[in-house]
Amino acid sequence: MADDTIPAEPAMQPNGADTGPAIGLISQYVKDLSFENPNAPHSYQWTSAPQIDVQFNIGSQPVADGVHETAIKIDISSKHEEGQAFVVDLTYAGLFGVRNVPAEQVHAFMLAEAPRILFPFARRVIADAVRDGGYAPLLLEPIDFHGLYLAQQQQMAAAADGSEQPAGNA
């Protein structure tokens, strides 16, 4: 026996509208880059081990309807016993298009997932800048942006509840 049933067609959206949630990278770019080499050429002869200090800051803001910019600011300082070897300041940003995503999920994406997407490119910019400054490339370790975001949210929730423990004994 032959099956004469006609397969059902997929549900069509009115006017072909796509109403599903979506976030996508539109563009990424160096927003600001500074490399300072204040003690060159003397710093190239220093033999002491450098102390590398790396600071991160992540920010996000809407720039248009359905478009957000997330920026990673990375400040790096390399000091030797003899003095400052170099300083790198980088702000690396990306534009993300957002459609049909709840605000709380947009917030989490822009401060946890977007930096994870952007970081490998920022890492390369820093490595190249340090190498072009005459030093061995500085390769930053991967960062758990999601874990940092969750820790920050927990810390903010604890502060709002008043349940934050004092830092020390008075």
Q: Name every residue whose Cβ is closer than 8 Å to that of residue 156 and which is 6 or more positions away in sequence.
A: none
Query: Which tens digit of pLDDT belongs to each residue from 72-115?
Result: 999 999 999 999 999 999 999 999 999 999 988 999 999 999 99
For the domain 21-157, what is the CATH code? Answer: 3.10.420.10
Q: How many CA atoms lie within 13 A of 15 on its CB side?
A: 2
Tell me the domain boundaries of the chain.
21-157
Q: How confident is the model at residue 50 (pLDDT cuts 50, 70, 90)?
A: very high
pTM value surpassing 0.75? yes
Q: Name every residue whose Cβ is closer than 8 Å to that of residue 88 and which is 6 or more positions away in sequence.
A: 33, 34, 35, 36, 74, 75, 76, 126, 129, 130, 138
User: Would you put residue 55 in left (φ > 0), alpha (ψ -120 to 50) or beta?
Assistant: beta
Mean pLDDT over 141-170 rounds to 78
Q: Output the pLDDT for position 170.
A: 46
Instruction: Using the predicted structure, report yes or no on whether residue 165 has a pLDDT greater than 60.
Output: no
